[in-house]
Amino acid sequence: MKSMDRRHFLKSVSAGIAAASLPSIVPSSAIGAGESVPPSERIVMGCIGVGGQGTHNMRAFLGRRDVQVISVCDVDARHRQRAAGHVNSRYQNRDCAQFNDFRELLANDTVDAVTVCTPDHWHGLASIAAAKAGKDIYCEKPLTNTVAEGRAVYDAVKRYGRVLQTGSHERSRPNARLACELVRNGRIGRLHTIEINLPCDQGHHMAVRNDPSIHRPMPIPDGFDYNFWLGHCPDAPYTVKRCHFSWRFVLDHGGGEMTDRGAHVIDLGQLGNGTDDTTPISYQATGTPPETPSNLWNTYFNYNFECMYANGVRMIGTSDNPRGVKFVGDDGWIFIHVHGGNLRASDTNILREKIGPDEIRIGRSPGHHADFINCIKSRGEPFASARIGHHSAVICHLLNISIQLGGRKLKWDPQKGRIIADDQANRMLARPMRAPWSL
């Protein structure tokens, strides 16, 4: 495809919003000095949410010659100024646009794709808005903070013909993909159990679990748009621990370790079981609140759970070490460490097995970020599409709902996306949104 044809194609499938009212953004690097990829062949990107993980993802894309980052967005001025500095340093210019409101970034029709690396409660609305604006999306995991938001993202991506890569990068590791191929091709015999380990004993876990503090209202820091940070969540006074990383232990904003690393480990269980297109049909879970009472933290730790798939495979989980997933079959087992992707097996010879040409092959990723860029160009489905990200997140959310309901067993209809005969639990699939926000 010729360079101008590719650019025309990307724009022809976009529902771009005219940007006549916005400042013209023409990066000084547009001439591409020292670059091997002409400007018309580059994917133009904007980054929404540029805290720790957002900056990590942004820098991964900045390192590519076929990507041009032209704008960043964050409700914390310090974050967006620092991120813009990284962009400008990479391109040796001062042209990176900075936005407080992601809708202004999305209104620039020259942007092909965005990252969404906000706290979890913003993943859904930001991704839906990006899809409507004709942008492809790299959205951090978990895909959304509720089941209903995940379905809405999936529907929007499909309706507007967008590419979405969920940030479940563990499934792009070659060792993880090899292990899942071995499982799916019977190298451990018939798979009957998936064991999930989600330890909750790291420093950031213990700081929350043993925090007896009463978190009192504080002055909002200069340059931080706290009301926009809250977005559709219930109004709450600002206190520093609610925001920036620790938000993941407040249910309004995240789902604790279950949706944090759980979205990685459970996602690998889905891949090894060959169930990316569906979810388990029953869920039952328990967990413990923080050891010392606090007026802020309300997610859970010390998990024990069990799910059952329609194919008869059980998924069981604990907070045992090490973090990862173990596939147990009639003839052996394979364990994938998360993070790192190191493998162990009941017999090391299993890991030396070759996959034949007529067996199940799930491919290899060129890297999670590279896969996303390649799919923008080809319009193919990435390794962690909206469909896959939504299904993995559903498992995490239903387990959290079971915990909140005192360990109640939930029966799930994957086709209808509903909990069977449990109105109270079904109401927890979505959450009310503070005006003016809505799905």
Per-residue pLDDT of 238-256, as tens digits, reads: 999 999 999 999 999 999 9
Domains contained in the chain, number: 2
| Residue 14 falls inside a structural domain | yes
The predicted model scores a pTM of 0.92
pLDDT band at 35 (very low <50, low <70, confident <90, very high): low
According to DSSP, residue 355 is labeled: P
Q: What is the mean pLDDT of residues 274-288?
A: 98
Q: Which residues contact 180 (CB under 8 A, 6 or more apart)?
A: 268, 271, 272, 362
Tens of pLDDT along 354-368?
999 999 999 999 999
Same domain (yes/no): 64, 181: no
d(Cα 109, Cα 372) in Å, to the nearest integer?
20
d(Cα 366, Cα 64) in Å, to the nearest integer?
13
Same domain (yes/no): 206, 300: yes
Same domain (yes/no): 184, 166: no
Q: Answer for the pair 172, 371: CB distance below 8 angstroms, yes or no.
A: yes
In this predicted structure, the answer to whether residue 206 has a pLDDT above a threshold of 60 is: yes
Same domain (yes/no): 324, 175: yes
Same domain (yes/no): 185, 151: no
Q: What is the mean pLDDT of residues 166-194?
A: 98
Give the residue numbers spanning the domain of 248: 171-356+386-427
Same domain (yes/no): 284, 210: yes
Same domain (yes/no): 279, 200: yes
Q: What is the mean pLDDT of residues 343-356?
A: 97
Same domain (yes/no): 185, 212: yes
In 124-235, the DSSP E strands lie at: 136-139, 164-166, 191-197
| Residue 309 falls inside a structural domain | yes
Look at residue 376 and give its three-state secondary structure: helix
pLDDT band at 39 (very low <50, low <70, confident <90, very high): confident
In this predicted structure, the answer to whether residue 34 has a pLDDT above a threshold of 50 is: no
Query: What is the four-CA torsion angle of 308, 313, 314, 317, rounded to 10 degrees?
Result: -110
Tokens for 248, please give them. 């993941």
Which residue, among 260, 256, 254, 318, has the nearest Cα to 285 in the 3D structure?
Answer: 318
In this predicted structure, the answer to whether residue 369 has a pLDDT above a threshold of 80 is: yes
pLDDT band at 37 (very low <50, low <70, confident <90, very high): confident
Tokens for 87, please give them. 């962009």
Q: Which of 133, 150, 170 lies at the terminal end of a domain, its last residue? A: 170
Same domain (yes/no): 200, 215: yes
d(Cα 294, Cα 291) in Å, to the nearest integer?
9
CA–CA distances in Å: residue 322 to residues 196, 209, 325: 10, 19, 9
Q: Which of 135, 170, 205 lies at the terminal end of a domain, its last residue? A: 170
Determine the pLDDT at residue 38: 87
In this predicted structure, the answer to whether residue 13 has a pLDDT above a threshold of 50 is: no
In this predicted structure, the answer to whether residue 19 has a pLDDT above a threshold of 60 is: no
